[in-house]
Structure formats: structure tokens, C-alpha cells
Amino acid sequence: MAAERTGGRVTRRRVHTRARLLDAAFEVFAAKGFGRVSIEEVCEAAGYSRGAFYSNFDSLDELFFALYRQRADLIAQQVADALAGEGPDLDVPASVDRVTGVLLLDLDWLLVKTDFLVHAARDPAVAQSLLEHRARLRGAIADRLARARGHTALPAVLGDADAAAHAVVAVYDGVTTQLLLDKDVDGARAWLKQLLTALLTDGSGNQE
């Protein structure tokens, strides 16, 4: 029993150490950019040694991907929760309101995400992992749109639910790219709402 308690303490300590390393890495990557950050800088920001780093991550690349996965999963869950209403009918304007109201639009995250996209573009293995995680976000959207088909009319030009989900994510990517430049979070949220409503309806908010 004592060994189990000790093991529990070690496990909790390890979880805490990993979380602190991820938080510190996020701050350092956002400030300096991936490729300009060393393991020593992450350890210093977290208040840990290199030994603590290597007990949790094999490399800076692995930490970077863990950080990306953490935030990407959060966004996918936000979208899934916002679209998880009961019943087959989809009130597009109301759903867009819910999604854009809760969606993470954090400038530091967008800087880190952009670094990761550039990194992935040069590394096929990383790119594949990134594509898999982006597919989860699209899947949350496509699942809700698919459940609405036959009950809620969507513009025919969008094709099937998967194609519509691709279009939604493309709008998000475009709006967040602009946000990186103008830093206007409120404007980005309003613009995202307007574009998604236009995309998924006839442009006026009507679904007929």
C-alpha cells in the first residue's frame, strides 16, 4: 500500500512537471518562435533541470507537438460542445453564435500554431500528424452537419458534410491569419460569425 501511495505521488509529480514544462514552452515559443528556442530556455522558464525535461520528452519537437495537440484538442472540443444540441434540426445562425462565442482566439496560440504549420510543411512525418489532428476538428463539424442533412438545408455548392466542414475550417484559418496581423480579436470574432453564417446559409441567415 505504501508503494502505491509513493507511486501515486510520483505520478502526480510527473503530471505536474509535464504540465509546467508545456506552459513554460508555450510562453517561450510565443515570445521567440520555434527554432529560436533551446531546451535550456524551456527548462529555465519552467524552473526545472534538463533531467526533468528528458524524463517527459525526448526532444523539443516532441514537446512542441504535445503543446500543439493540447491546444488543438481544446479547440476541437469547444466546437463539438457548441454543436452538441439535441435533435436533428440545425439552427445555423444560433450554432455559429455558440461556436464563435467560445472558440479560442488567442494571439499567442496563433503564433505558436503558425510556427508549427511552417515546421510541418518541411517535415512529412510532422505534417501527417498535424493532418490527423486537423481532421478531428473537421470531424466534429462534419458530424453535426451530417446529422442535420434532410432536416436543415445547406447550400448545395458546399457538397457533402465533409466538404462543408473543410470550408468552415478554411474560413477559420483565413480569419485567424488576419488576426495575427491586426490583433483585433473582437473584429475577428465578428468577421468569423459573419462569414460562417454566409457560408452555411443563403447569406442572410435564412436556411431555406
> For residue 177, what pLDDT band results from cuts at 50, 70 and 90?
very high
Of 10-14, 126-130, 159-163, minimum mean pLDDT range: 10-14
CA 110 to chain centre: 9
The string of DSSP codes covering 49-72 is -HHHHHTT-SSHHHHHHHHHHHHH
Query: pLDDT tens, 46-64?
Result: 999 999 999 999 998 889 8
Residues 6 or more apart whose CB falls under 8 angstroms from that of 201 comprise 92, 93, 155, 207
Exposed/middle/buried for residue 87 (C-beta within 10 Å: 0-12, 13-18, 19+): exposed
